[in-house]
Structure 1
Amino acid sequence: MPSRDNVHVLVARYLRDNGYNNTLEAFKEELGLEDDMIPSDHSITLESIIEQKRLFDLSQELDAVTLVDDENDKWHVPYPGFKSVLPKQSPESNILSVSVAYLSMPISVDDSSSSVSTRPCIMATSADRSLRIFDFYTFDLLTVYTHLHSSPILTLLVLNESTLLTGGMDGRLVVSNPATGDVIAQLKDHMKYLVRIACSKDMRYLATAGYDKKVHAYSIENMGPDVPTIGFTRIGTLSFPTNPEAIVFVNPEEDNTTDSTPPQLVVSRRDSTFLYYYKLFPVLSEAARHNLNPDSNSWVSFCAMDIVLDPAESKFLGVATSTMPHMRFMLLESGADTIMKSAFTKAPQDTYSSARICWRPQGSGVWCNGDDGIIRGMELSTGNVVVELKHHEGKVKAMFAGIVDGREVLVTGGFDKTIALWELEKR
């Protein structure tokens, strides 16, 4: 059966939906199309393609226009532009996620029972089910774990130097000690892929999103670097008609909040242009929803594939959309309907892409992945792509941006089976 973005299917669906029945019958006969080959899925239409092309052309024309005249939003220089490639490991496999964090790891690479030291490490998961941990400075492979999940690890999150959370295609959430690989706790609340893990800033709440169309919210018990066990109390479960794609905790919208006020959970899902806000207490319930398509053009179909809270003020949300043929970046204040910025990133993507963005630590811009292997740096003030980092061949699936020893770094991983570390200076 032809795919839903097949040109002939798009034309046939357009003829059918607009009542051009005689032309449709002639078109079907000419091409040998059957009725069951023309789906009712309207996520991609001729109108949406034309509209997105119009918007993209408009964004190209406005490339030189400044969206906000704020020096703090100018692209910060220097930026990570010097590349080091980590040694390839055997077996080579597609990189699915990367991160950098300070971990308590054995001092001796060859002796896991040796004393430990806390130092920055690069973590990477790949399609061969492995979790690999590298020394940030030497690129030495400190350890490889393949026992944590029965299938590839899709997402990871470091709670503290001795506590690591991973989510896999097996639907499990696993808590482990990165130094030993010991499994501290695990949950099997998802029936399909666990694709996202989010933790609140105060480390008191956790959420997971899965392709079983569910999001679970938990409170974290007994969490601390010296606590041998960790527990989760489920606050509630959200069920959706389509798969959730992104989750993030934000400060509540109310003005009368304190440091002890529980955060709200923001969720996006496939085939919906809304961001959904949920209160955790007294029960997990919807508090608000905000439309990323305020003009309500029914033919414009996209969703938020990634939602990232800004690192400077923790009040603005950067959003990467599923828009085709190029990713679109949006900026909005958490809890508000107004879209402060909207710009195309020039990053190519299709139906099967996973749009990802990472904030630069100063908040001056974001890094965007792309199916062409290029990492693009977008300046916040103008919405312009001002930097292109080229190394990967094929899709860039994973990115991490942050500060290590006071210096800004970027780590990227892709379907070319390589991991690149980008720094401010050449090693």
Structure 2
Amino acid sequence: MPSRDNIHVIVARYLRDNAYNSTLEAFKEELGLEDDMIPIPSDHSMTLESIIEQKRLYDLAMGIQELDIKADTQNQWVVPSPTFKSVLPDQLSNILFVSVANLSMPTSIDDPSAGTSVRPCILVTEADRSLRIFDFYTFDPLKVYTHLHSSPILTLEVLDENTIMTGGMDGRLVVSKPATGEITAEQKDHFKYLVKIAISKDQKYVATVGYDKKVHVYTIERSETEPPKFNKIGSLSFPTNPEAAAFTYQDGDDEIPKLVISRRDSTFLYYYKLQPNLIEFARHNLNPESNSWVSFCAMDIALDPTEQKYLGVATSSIPHMRFMMLESGNDAILKNSFTRAPQDAYSTSRITWRPEGSGIWCNGDDGLIRGVEVSTGAVVAELKHHQGKVKAIYAGKVDGKEVVVTGGFDKTVAVWEVEKR
């Protein structure tokens, strides 16, 4: 049976929904379509109207970009940016998540009694449920853990050099030590995939996002002698799966952050206060024109790394991802640009800010990593290596130098740097 987004199905739905019955019968006979092959469209199905509207918005965005590029000469894409590529030599499976962090790891791989040292490491999670840790400079494999979760790990956050948190398809939130793999704490509040872990900048609050249509929010108690302890503030339930979450600070309140959440089949961002309990206090529409033919959601939300007040948003728009930027807590959309990154209804859109905030990197189903200049919304850089979908992307600094790490369904991990190794 053809997919919902098959062009013949889209045309047939259009003919049926507009009562062009004789034309529809001729079309079905010509192509051999049956009635059960022409389903009722869901909210995220493509239609002829949505395709035309997306094309109109794309042309409009391209025109605005050209004007912006001519008018804006400040705050442009900082150069040099990472362009030199190295590839991890190990044989891997499909890559689900990548990150880079300073971790306390054994100084000798072969000697269990050896001491530890803090060094930059690459963390990789794979479809075989493993977490692999590599030395950033030598690419030596330091540790491989397969016991942390009973199914693949979808998301990971580093609390400090001795503590990492992982979330998996088993719905568990697991805290472990990277040097030994010892599990020190865990929560099992989701009964389906745990797809996102969000941590406040002061590391006092954690939110977990699950495909059981739930978001759970906790405070973390940590000490030098005791394992981390999670205290649940509350839980949120949604009519569709939540996709992304981030902690933000507004109105000069640096004590208690706010939580912003997106969900499937909704163009809104939902804002919640954390104390004394979870209360929604605002929702902002990413599609203020409320055009019924445009249906998307925010698939990823990232707070800017410098001023900590701008939200970068990657949308589920088909056939190309859109990048939006807005000030947290404000309805005004500051940037709305097409990234040209192809995707479909099953893609996982991801963005990550450059460390100095001049741009973002985004993934795509064609294997390219695209760099978007925030001041103009224009695509100004491309990193070419992967064959097929790029699932994971990280950007940050190692010893003061900018790096990008990417992983895909071609079972490779690429490391991009500003200087050749």
Quick one: which amino acid aligns to residue 99 of structure 1?
S
1:40–1:374: structure 2 CA closer, same or farther, 3 Å change rule? Answer: closer
Normalised to the residue count of structure 1, the TM-score between the two structures is: 0.94
The Cα offsets for residues 47-66 of structure 1, whole Å up to 9 and x where unpaired, read as 11111122223333444221
Secondary structure at the counterpart of residue 327 of structure 1: strand
Residue 304 of structure 2 corresponds to residue 341 of structure 1: no
Equivalent position of 2:391 in the other structure? 397
Secondary structure at the counterpart of residue 9 of structure 2: helix
Quick one: which amino acid aligns to residue 179 of structure 1?
A
CA–CA separation in structure 1 for the residues paired with 2:14 and 2:42: 12
Where do 1:77-88 residues align within 5 Å?
77-88=79-90
CA–CA separation in structure 2 for the residues paired with 1:35 and 1:375: 39
> How many aligned residue pairs are there?
419
Equivalent position of 2:143 in the other structure? 143
Equivalent position of 1:110 in the other structure? 110
Where do 1:6-405 residues align within 5 Å?
6-21=6-21, 23-24=23-24, 27-28=27-28, 31-35=32-36, 37-43=38-44, 44-66=46-68, 73-89=75-91, 92-221=92-221, 223-224=222-223, 226-252=224-250, 255=251, 257-260=252-255, 262-405=256-399
Q: Is the 8 A contact 2:106 2:114 kept in 1?
A: yes
CA–CA separation in structure 2 for the residues paired with 1:288 and 1:259: 19
CA–CA separation in structure 1 for the residues paired with 2:68 and 2:253: 36
Post-superposition offset of 1:293: 0.3
Pick which of 135-144 and 60-69 moved more: 60-69
Post-superposition offset of 1:71: 5.3
CA–CA separation in structure 1 for the residues paired with 2:310 and 2:69: 16
Secondary structure at the counterpart of residue 413 of structure 1: strand
Post-superposition offset of 1:202: 0.7
Pick which of 113-122 and 25-34 moved more: 25-34
> Where does structure 2 lack aligned partners over 5 or more consecutive residues?
none
CA–CA separation in structure 1 for the residues paired with 2:373 and 2:359: 5
Secondary structure at the counterpart of residue 96 of structure 1: strand
1:268–1:235: structure 2 CA closer, same or farther, 3 Å change rule? Answer: same
Normalised to the residue count of structure 2, the TM-score between the two structures is: 0.95
Post-superposition offset of 1:259: 3.1
CA RMSD of aligned residues (A): 1.8
Post-superposition offset of 1:23: 4.5
Quick one: which amino acid aligns to residue 266 of structure 1?
V
The Cα offsets for residues 353-376 of structure 1, whole Å up to 9 and x where unpaired, read as 111111111111111111111111
CA–CA separation in structure 1 for the residues paired with 2:154 and 2:112: 26
The Cα offsets for residues 140-181 of structure 1, whole Å up to 9 and x where unpaired, read as 111100000111111100011111000111111110000110
Post-superposition offset of 1:4: 1.4
Secondary structure at the counterpart of residue 64 of structure 1: helix
CA–CA separation in structure 2 for the residues paired with 1:228 and 1:67: 54
Post-superposition offset of 1:33: 2.0
Q: Is the 8 A contact 1:12 1:38 kept in 2?
A: no
CA–CA separation in structure 1 for the residues paired with 2:384 and 2:336: 24
CA–CA separation in structure 1 for the residues paired with 2:127 and 2:401: 30
CA–CA separation in structure 2 for the residues paired with 1:18 and 1:354: 33
- Aligned-pair identity (%): 68
CA–CA separation in structure 1 for the residues paired with 2:336 and 2:225: 44
CA–CA separation in structure 2 for the residues paired with 1:37 and 1:241: 26
Q: Is the 8 A contact 1:392 1:414 kept in 2?
A: yes
Secondary structure at the counterpart of residue 66 of structure 2: coil
CA–CA separation in structure 2 for the residues paired with 1:331 and 1:212: 28
Pick which of 176-185 and 42-51 moved more: 42-51
1:140–1:403: structure 2 CA closer, same or farther, 3 Å change rule? Answer: same
CA–CA separation in structure 1 for the residues paired with 2:418 and 2:149: 35
CA–CA separation in structure 1 for the residues paired with 2:279 and 2:273: 5
The Cα offsets for residues 27-77 of structure 1, whole Å up to 9 and x where unpaired, read as 556644225742241322211111112222333344422169665520001
Q: Is the 8 A contact 1:361 1:402 kept in 2?
A: yes
